[in-house]
Amino acid sequence: MSFIPSWAVHADGKTILPGSVVAPEERLSWSRTIGIGMQHVIAMFGATLLVPTLTGFPVNTTLLFSGLGTIIFLLFTRNRLPSYLGSSFAFIAPLTASQQHGIGAQLGGILVTGLALIGVGLLVTWAGKRVIDAVMPPAVTGAIVALIGLNLAPTAVANTQTQPAVGLVTLATILIATACLRGMASRLSILIGVVTGWVFAALTGNFADDAGATIAAAPWIGLPTFHTPEFHLSAILVTLPVLVVLIAENVGHVKAVAEMTQRDLDDLAGPALIGDGVATTLAGAFGGSGTTTYAENIGVMAATRVYSTAAYWVAAVFAIMLAFIPKFGALIFTIPAGVLGGACLVLYGLIGMLGVRIWQDNHVDFNNPVNLTMAAVALIVGIGNLTFEIGNVTLEGIALGSIGIIVLYPLMQWAYANLGEGRLLPQSRER
């Protein structure tokens, strides 16, 4: 891999040639590149900053490892795959479920998940993407992703009900922005909704009494807060299913960029997974949230037609700079519960619908009783947060549903194809 990035200047550096795009190895003038990089930072704000706010993680630390993670990702993908690594929403559910163990245990779960992702990336680099499809077919992957998002539904509702008016204003703003705005503004609908709800809460006296004092007390310049990981089996088991989401998002990102740039980037699937795995492991080792590629930033690329990795280096450096401004982190933590609730009604639902999208994109056959039954059981276990204690290990809805469908699905599929009605069909419906 190249450790010294370089880019050719596209055309005159000021305009994009008609019918063309600024390729990953190209850039516009540095002034324009910095401007586009700033857009990428804004695009990631809504998601990346909400994750630590919801989970209690330090905002500035999360920003630091988001920026460092982006640089790591760019290095592992040899500066060929433009992407920003921000906080993954999929970690919210397990981090919330393992809060009773403390932040050290939560970080341990993130770190182990990052190591597992590195392992998957090495396997994909060696054997190709088909190994993922063999172990986790779309029927299984979609169910796990869906249950991770829907497991959080009670939390979103509870936060909204603490400040119903604030929550509804936030939700309404997000929905209106999504439907009515265009281009970049539409892709920032969640950020617009949060800011609007924030302002509404301030005007209606729904801020915490000590919010102003907290912001005033925070210094302008300072080091992020670091924590040391601890390893609790219960916390690890509830966090590991996020691996499925990270795989889906990274592989999907490679496909999306390849389609938009009209290039074959299949060879980067493994390095992308490794890069995100290293970034997530590093974050878990020191106090940041796990990372993933961002669809929001794909939107910025599509809108600007600029796929230059130089813009992502700029975004990464800017995020790292913000990490050393504690007052910024203090400001983010003043977001009222009602605002978070209104935003999360959308966010958690989007994670759930990502699972449905995986089923749809891969044409999963729900006429197959195994697909239908296993997905149904996994979803109810996740949504209802069914919990079992085995010795000192607690298996909650996310872990229980994920482990259950991964273990039982191939057994059920084999039984259906060899013992049940599947053996009477011309071929067993396995998708």
Contact by Cβ (8 Å): 234, 394: yes
Taken in order 121, 124, 127, 130, the sign of the CA dihedral is positive
Q: Which residue has the higher pLDDT, 52 or 128?
A: 52
Residue 296: pLDDT band with limits 50, 70, 90: low
**Beta bridge partner(s), residue 293:** 85
Q: CA separation (Å) from 41 to 5, 36, 37, 222? A: 20, 9, 7, 21
List beta partners, residue 22.
306
Degrees, nearest 5: CA angle 323-297-149: 85
Q: Tell me the C-alpha to C-alpha distance, in Å, between residue 364 and each of 241, 244, 332, 335.
A: 20, 17, 41, 40
- Calculate the alpha carbon distances from 420 to 113, 366, 414, 424 in Å: 37, 16, 9, 8
Q: Give residue 224's identity as a one-letter amino acid code.
A: P
Say how far apart CA 246 and CA 377 lie, in whole Å: 23
For the chain, what is the mean pLDDT?
83
Q: Which two tokens stand for residue 390?
A: 């085995």
- Domain-located, residue 206: yes
**Is 254 part of any domain?**
yes
Q: What is the dihedral of CA 6, 19, 258, 48, to 10 degrees?
A: 70
* Segments forming the whole domain that contains residue 214: 21-363
Which residue carries 């163990």 as its tokens? 101
User: How many alpha carbons lie under 13 Å from residue 290 in its C-beta half-sphere?
Assistant: 34
CA–CA distance, 95 with 384 (Å, rounded to integer): 17
Quick check: is 241 in a domain? Answer: yes
Residue with tokens 């950020």: 191
> 94 vs 184, which has greater pLDDT?
94
Structural domain contains residue 10: no
User: Residue 281 and residue 291: Cα distance in Å, rounded?
Assistant: 9
368 in any annotated domain: no
Amino acid present at 33: T
* DSSP H or E stretch at residue 52: helix 30-55
Q: Among residues of the chain, what percentage have pLDDT more than 90?
A: 21
Average pLDDT over residues 38-60: 78
Classify residue 79 as left (phi > 0), alpha (psi -120 to 50) or beta.
Answer: left
Asked if residue 400 is part of any domain, the answer here is no
CB 105 within 8 A of CB 284: no
pLDDT in tens, 175-228: 998 888 876 566 667 778 888 998 998 888 877 767 677 777 778 888 888 999
| 342 pLDDT more than 90 | no
Residue 241: predicted pLDDT: 85
C-alpha–C-alpha distance, residues 92 and 106, integer Å? 11
Q: How is residue 306 annotated by DSSP? A: B
CB of 393 closer than 8 Å to CB of 234: yes
Instruction: Establish if 159 belongs to a structural domain.
Output: yes
3-state secondary structure 66-99: HHHHHHHHHHHCCCCCCCCEEECHHHHHHHHHCH
Structure tokens at 77: 């993908």
Q: Is the pLDDT of residue 430 over 70?
A: no
CA distance 84 to 43: 10
From 376, 127, 131, 93, select the one nearest 240 (Cα to Cα).
Answer: 93
Lowest mean pLDDT among 97-106, 153-162, 252-261: 252-261
- Per residue in 359-415, pLDDT (tens digit) is 988 889 998 999 999 999 989 988 888 887 776 666 777 778 878 888 888 899 889
The amino acid present at 192, given as its one-letter code, is I
Q: Residue 6 half-sphere exposure, CB side, CA atoms within 13 Å?
A: 3
Residue 427: its pLDDT value, please?
57
Angle at 234 between CA 231 and CA 236, to 5 degrees: 55
Asked if the structure places residue 16 within a domain, the reply is: no
Domain count, the chain: 1
